[in-house]
């Protein structure tokens, strides 16, 4: 069924296709006519002033927020009210949050094995093996038996990344992953994300870390007022912005 959907849309190659998507909070029009196609393996950085709808947009992709108009197609599956489709999409789309949202009552290892065991029905031993592999990749295997409350912010965020990766997602969404971190911890999280990008993961990253955008992004998207204002390759985007709003934004964040 997913194949036929994808064929109709004519985008069997792309990971995510958002077309003419609108969203309202009550009367407030937060997202206006969003059109975005993300290819497999593409790394996209989304930036913009606060309240511009960038977090809301990526949260629509795994249905943490519901869109009211237009369509979102993830990996060939149309996002509708059908709970089965939503669950399928959520299994394939990992998400990392600004405030980590680790489960405080479970150890780091249990945080990582929970979804593989209960959602993917993986045997416990195998899930633990996979979890340890990813904890090593984010460089904190030695913390596996601690509780999240015992870790620093940077460590918690790396656990959160490992937790998502344990579901072996096709796509990773990052919602301001470094905004709640102390400056000396930002780098350790960004390093993990850079590694991930180099391995070819499809990534959508909402962030203000322009260095990260320059280093790994294939495309930078600028949003303001609920609209996509401008998108371009990073070099072009930073050196030669077209819109006045983009120029103003860049001068504010790069100016100091």
Partner 1 sequence: MSKSFVRTEFHPDLPAPISEAGIIGWLRHNLFSTWYNSLATLLVFYLAWLAIPPVIDWAFISSVWEANDYKECKAAGTGACWGMIDKRFNLFMYGFYDSNEFWRPNLAIVVFMIAMVPVLFDKVPGRKFCVPFLILGYPPLAVALIRGPVEMSTFQSTTGIVVWVAMFAGAVFLGHRGAKTLNAAMSGIGYTAAYIILFVIFISWGLGLTPTETDTYGGLMLTLILAGVGIAVSLPLGVLLALGRRASSMPIVQMLCIGFIEIIRSVPLISVLFMAQFMLPLFMPEGVKFDNVMRALVGFSLFAAAYMAEVIRGGLQAIPKGQFEAADSLGLNFYLNMRLIVLPQAMKIVIPGIVSTFIGLFKDTSLVSIIALADLLLVAKQSYTDSNWLGLEHTAYAFIAVIYFCICFSMSRYSMYLERKLHTGHKR
Residue numbers at the binding site for partner 1 (CB under 8 A): 62-64, 83, 87, 90-91, 93-95, 97, 99, 101-105, 114-115, 118-119, 147-150, 160, 163-164, 167
**Nearest distance from residue 143's CB to partner 1, in Å?**
14
List the structure tokens of 229.
């204002």
**Nearest distance from residue 120's CB to partner 1, in Å?**
8
Long-range pairs, 183-187, Cβ under 8 A, ≥24: 184/154, 185/152, 185/153, 185/154, 185/157, 186/154
Nearer to partner 1, 98 or 232 (CB): 98
**Nearest distance from residue 253's CB to partner 1, in Å?**
26
SS3 (DSSP) at 181: coil
Residue 132: exposed, middle, or buried by beta-carbon count in 10 A (0-12, 13-18, 19+)? middle
Nearer to partner 1, 181 or 213 (CB): 181
Q: Is the dihedral of CA 177, 86, 169, 21 positive or negative?
A: negative
Cα(52)–Cα(227) distance, rounded to whole angstroms? 8
**Nearest distance from residue 167's CB to partner 1, in Å?**
6
**Nearest distance from residue 180's CB to partner 1, in Å?**
11
Nearer to partner 1, 90 or 245 (CB): 90
Residues in the chain: 256
- In sequence order, what are the residues at sequence separation of 6 or more whose Cβ sits closer than 8 angstroms to the Cβ of residue 133? none
Nearer to partner 1, 64 or 194 (CB): 64
Nearer to partner 1, 147 or 238 (CB): 147
Q: How many CB atoms lie within 10 A of CB 64?
A: 15
Reference 130, options 169, 177, 171; nearest CA is 169
Q: Containing H/E element for 167?
A: none
**Nearest distance from residue 19's CB to partner 1, in Å?**
23
**111 phi, psi to nearest 5 deg:** -55, -40
Q: How many CB atoms lie within 10 A of CB 101?
A: 14
List the structure tokens of 85.
């489709």
Nearer to partner 1, 2 or 231 (CB): 2
Nearer to partner 1, 111 or 207 (CB): 111
**Nearest distance from residue 106's CB to partner 1, in Å?**
8
């Amino acid at each position: 069924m997913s194949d036929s959907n994808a064929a109709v849309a004519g985008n069997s190659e792309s990971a995510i296709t958002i077309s003419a998507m609108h969203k309202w909070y009550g009367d407030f029009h937060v997202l206006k006519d969003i059109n975005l196609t993300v290819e497999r393996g593409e790394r996209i950085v989304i930036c913009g002033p606060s309240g511009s709808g960038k977090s809301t947009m990526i949260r629509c992709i795994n249905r943490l927020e519901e869109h009211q108009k237009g369509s979102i197609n993830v990996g060939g599956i149309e996002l509708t009210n059908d709970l089965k489709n939503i669950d399928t999409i959520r299994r394939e789309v990992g998400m990392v949050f600004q405030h980590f949202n680790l489960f405080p009552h479970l150890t780091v290892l249990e945080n990582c094995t929970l979804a593989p065991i209960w959602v993917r029905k993986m045997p416990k031993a195998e899930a633990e093996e996979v979890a340890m592999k990813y904890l090593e990749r984010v460089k904190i295997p030695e913390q596996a038996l601690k509780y999240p409350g015992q870790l620093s912010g940077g460590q918690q965020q790396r656990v959160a990344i490992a937790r998502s990766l344990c579901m072996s997602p096709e796509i990773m969404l990052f919602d301001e992953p470094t905004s709640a971190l102390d400056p000396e911890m930002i780098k350790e999280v960004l390093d993990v994300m850079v590694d991930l990008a180099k391995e070819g993961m499809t990534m959508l990253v909402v962030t203000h870390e322009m260095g990260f955008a320059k280093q790994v992004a294939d495309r930078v998207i600028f949003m303001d007022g609920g609209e996509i204002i401008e998108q371009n390759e990073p070099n072009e985007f930073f050196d030669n912005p077209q819109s006045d709003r983009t120029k103003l934004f860049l001068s504010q964040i790069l100016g100091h």
